[in-house]
Amino acid sequence: MTRKIGYARAHTNIALIKYWGKKDHELFLPMNSSLSLTLDAFYTDTQVIFDSSFAEDTLTINGELQPSDEINGLVRFLNVIREKEQTDLKAHVISHNIVPTAAGLASSASAYAALTGAIAQAFNWQLDHQALSRIARRGSGSATRSLFGGFVEWEMGVDDETSQAIPIDDAQWDIGMLVMILTRQKKDISSRVGMQHTVETSPFYTNWVETAAQDLKQMKAAIYRQDFQTVGELTEHSAMKMHATTFSANPPFFYFEPETIHAIRIIQALRKQGHHIYYTLDAGPNLKVLGKRSELESVRQALLEHYSSDQLILTQAGPGMRQLSADEWASLYPTREEDTSHDH
Ligand code: PMV
């Protein structure tokens, strides 16, 4: 009997310069390089077990076994791993998403970064975080960046070996994020489908790619000189340009809900009143507000006039992927699935 086990934790990240569009669907090579901030408050803990007695791959999230027809992405990723490792062992993946509220923010970024770390431990790979980022990329593009903490660039590269994450700055300065949960509705167009449709049909898409390179360059320079205002302005600009490619797709689609526009108006009004804040949003309706860490509590107070406190989550820069020990896992998640997991 062969049994290999590994454990890891990875935090989610929010892109300030967005990744939007693939040029290689097999390898997940992006059309443009991107840059994100890893967040403290949201992370995924994952245990992976490869066992010769398992008949199929399974995924359990927060104690719930996921339907087998909803784990195609995971199985595809595990096939990449099996090919690398020259094994046919099936895996049970047990994940816990740590999100302060039922925010619907559980992200594939932290999930695949944590899974990659757990797999590396299970197979005793001696790879650094950059090498692991190239593997996490095969699960989900944004996961590439979650291997590292702080500000992280995903260099698009030209092939499997060069498309990887690079830590830019630890973000231990006056910058943070306030996540606004506006609606808990599940998104109906995944980022994978949405980005592909815009690549194929939006006449704005070439502009997106061309201007993203320049935005990234300016963003890195602004981060290095800790120029909050420029970081904020570029963040908003990148998000709105990304979403403009969805509005201009054919047929059009978008991730905005009425609550999104309403919240943007509120952020703009607060900014007029002197708050240093900028918004961004991803393939969903919720806003993430970039602000000075020292000021975000007062922003939160101002937003409490419009939202309940469980809709407003304050967070700061978080760390990169970390492998966990079996003991750590056991104390975090006592008497869990690993003792009982078996196939029927
Ligand atoms: O890699 P995915 O499928 O999580 O796509 C991420 C797309 C955005 O969140 C919209 C942008 C980004 O860079 O994270």
Model pTM? 0.95
Rounded to the nearest angstrom, the gap between the alpha carbon of residue 53 and the centroid of all alpha carbons in its chain is 32
pLDDT at 293: 97
Probe target for ligand 1 pocket from 193, 282, 287, 288, with the most ligand atoms within 8 Å of CB: 282
* Band (70; pLDDT cuts 50, 70, 90): very high
Nearest CA to ligand 1 atom 8: 282
Tens digit of each residue's pLDDT (9 = 90 or more) over 115-160: 999 999 999 999 999 999 999 999 999 999 999 999 999 999 999 9
Share of the chain above pLDDT 90, in %: 92
pLDDT at 341: 44
Q: Which domains, and CATH codes, for the chain?
A: 3-171+324-332 (3.30.230.10), 176-315 (3.30.70.890)
Residues 6+ apart with CB under 8 A from 285: 182, 183, 185, 187, 255, 256, 257, 259, 260
Distances from the Cα of 228 to the Cα of 179, 211, 234, 237, 267, angstroms: 18, 20, 10, 14, 16
pLDDT at 96: 95
- The rounded distance, in Å, linking the Cα atoms of 22 and 157 is 12
Task: Take residue 133 and report the two structure tokens written for it.
Answer: 């980022």
- The rounded distance, in Å, linking the Cα atoms of 8 and 120 is 9
For the chain, the distance separating the N- and C-terminal CA atoms, rounded to the nearest angstrom, is 17
pLDDT at 103 over 80: no
237 lines ligand 1 (CB under 6 A): no
Tens digit of each residue's pLDDT (9 = 90 or more) over 280-293: 999 999 999 999 99
The ligand 1 atom at the shortest distance from the C-alpha of residue 13 is: 14
pLDDT at 81 over 80: yes
